[in-house]
Every structure is written in structure tokens, then in C-alpha cells.
Amino acid sequence: MEVNCEGCAGCCLDWRTLADTDLDHERRGPYEPIDDEYNLVALTRDEVRAFLDAGLGDALRPRLWYDWERADGAGGAVDGDRDAGVRIDGAPVAAVRGRPAFFVGLRRAPKPVAPFDRDAATWLPTCVFLDPETLQCRMHDSGRYPSECAEFPGHSLTLDVETECERVEGEFGGERLLDGDPPDDTTGPLFGPQALGQKVFVHPDPERLDGVVDRTVAGDLTAEDRAEFAAVAAASTPGSTAVNDDAYERACDVALDADSWVGEAVSDWRERAGGPGERATDAPLADRVERDRGAPDTPGW
């Protein structure tokens, strides 16, 4: 599968403010993400563990979904079947067996980027691992490169849905998707029961999540919120909703201790950024915000 990524990074940043069309493909199914991220990369349990082991727990964040279809206006469990939703902060949240379901993805930061051959950089929400200057991934050559990124857009091709490459082509022209055949060797999208505990995780205790929906909507999740979800994911059991308590405790400590270049860079970018799509005049150099704090280099094109 061949793609032309140079100068693009459409799958690594939120370019909705640059587009004329409505880019809302993540919000067309029965469940609507509670956060406003675009193209969240969902990590597997083993990938979450690898990030924690590398001291990069502060790069992780959860995604939960609204379950509007099951909302009945009552508090507590929304209905009694095995996929019943629950309410957190009054909102109906998608759940499995009455427990909130979630992904773990990578955090975003506003960075000064000039994708799609734009003349000048604008502030756009960007994956924490994207170097805003080369528009390359800082993890590409590491063992932590997420399988979803490595196989992108293989999953979309396998499912016969529009790829991000084609969305970029439709908006800005050029050729991004050079080979439309799905690869034979992807790990495949994890859906259904086999995804449980491997990519779709289930939180064992909704009462521990008071305030999480409100803070997600506000874009204001705390380090404790993020650590809670990362630890549950790391301690999950593939194929089930079980969470190992000891593994959870250990993972939670590791996640809370994480103090990597990523966390510092996110705070720094947020302090300095303009609004999404605003011209990034006088933006600081990525070297100063990221590389000087320990971010790995990218090879350049």
C-alpha cells in the first residue's frame, strides 16, 4: 500500500478548520465521541502498556462516547440489557454491561503547522508526536509506533470507507492515496467481542468517574483522569471486561509518575497557541518546545 505523506499529515492533525466540507466521519455512527478530537488513534492494550513502560503515560488520553439512543432521562443505568449505558455527569455514556466503554488514544496539542503546501503555518490541534516542522512522526522508527498508524489507511480500505488520504485529495487536490488495494497483512480493525480488553476497554466503576464527562467536554481532563483510564486499559483482560486490581494499581502509579517531554510540550504549546486555524505568527520553534525537552528527531523527507 503506497501513500504520499510528504507535506500532508492529514491523519495526524485536525484540519477541519481549513476545509470547506464538513469533516465529521467519526461522528456518524450510533455513538458520538464526547471529546472533539479528530482522527483519534486508538491504542491496543499492549501499546498502552508500552507507553507506560517508556515513561510516556502523560501522552495518553481516553475517549468515551455518548449513547443518545439509550438515554431515557433517568439517572443511573439507562436500561437493563447487557449493553446498557450509564450516566456520568448526567450524560448517557456508551457502556458494556453497565460499565463505561472507552478507547485510549494519544493527546493533542495546538502546534504551528503548514500542511497541504500552505504558505504559512496556522495553529491546529496536532498529535503530540507529530513534528510540526517536518510533518513527520517522532515515533515512526520506534517500537511504540501505533499499529493503527503503521497500517493507515489499511483499515479504511478493508472496510471500504473513504480514507483520510482521499478526503485530503478532495479538498486540496494532488495524489495522496497511491494504491487503493487493502493490504493483506494488517492486524485488522478490532471490532465486536474480540475487541474487548484489547482496544475497547471497560471501566469497572462509573462512580470513580464523576466529572470526567464535563472535563472532557471542556477539554480539561486532569492527569489523574488520564492515568485512571490508561491504568484500567493496561490492566484489562483480552476478550473480557475483567480488570486486574494489582495490575491496575501498578499501572496507575506509573501513569501518574510520567513526566516526559510530551506533558511539558503540551502545556507549553497550549500557553502559546492561537485559536484553531489562526495564523501562527511568531510561533516558537519546535526544537525549543519539543526537541530540547527530549523529543526524538525525525529523518526529514
| Residue 186: closest CA among 151, 153, 162, 212 | 151
CB nearer ligand SF4, residue 202 or residue 262: 262
Minimum Å distance from CB 139 to ligand SF4? 5
CB nearer ligand SF4, residue 14 or residue 67: 14
CB nearer ligand SF4, residue 39 or residue 122: 39
CB nearer ligand SF4, residue 135 or residue 234: 135
258-282 burial by CB neighbour count: b if 16+ within 10 A, else e?
A: bebbbbbbbebbeebbeeeeeebee
CB nearer ligand SF4, residue 99 or residue 226: 226
Minimum Å distance from CB 114 to ligand SF4? 16
Minimum Å distance from CB 8 to ligand SF4? 10
CB nearer ligand SF4, residue 211 or residue 296: 296
How far is it, in rounded angstroms, from Cα 97 to Cα 197? Answer: 14
How far is it, in rounded angstroms, from Cα 98 to Cα 91? Answer: 14
Minimum Å distance from CB 12 to ligand SF4? 3
Query: Could you give the count of Cα atoms lying within 13 Å of 88 in the half-sphere of its Cβ?
Result: 27
In contact, 176 and 169? CB cutoff 8 Å:
yes
Cis upstream peptide for 153 (omega within 30°): yes
In contact, 231 and 248? CB cutoff 8 Å:
yes
Minimum Å distance from CB 99 to ligand SF4? 28
CB nearer ligand SF4, residue 127 or residue 165: 127
Q: How far is CA 191 from CA 133, 155, 188, 194, 290, in A?
A: 35, 11, 9, 7, 35
In contact, 116 and 168? CB cutoff 8 Å:
yes
Minimum Å distance from CB 210 to ligand SF4? 30
Residues that bind ligand SF4 (CB under 6 A): 12, 41, 106, 127, 129-130, 137, 139, 146, 149
How far is it, in rounded angstroms, from Cα 135 to Cα 284? Answer: 16
Minimum Å distance from CB 152 to ligand SF4? 7
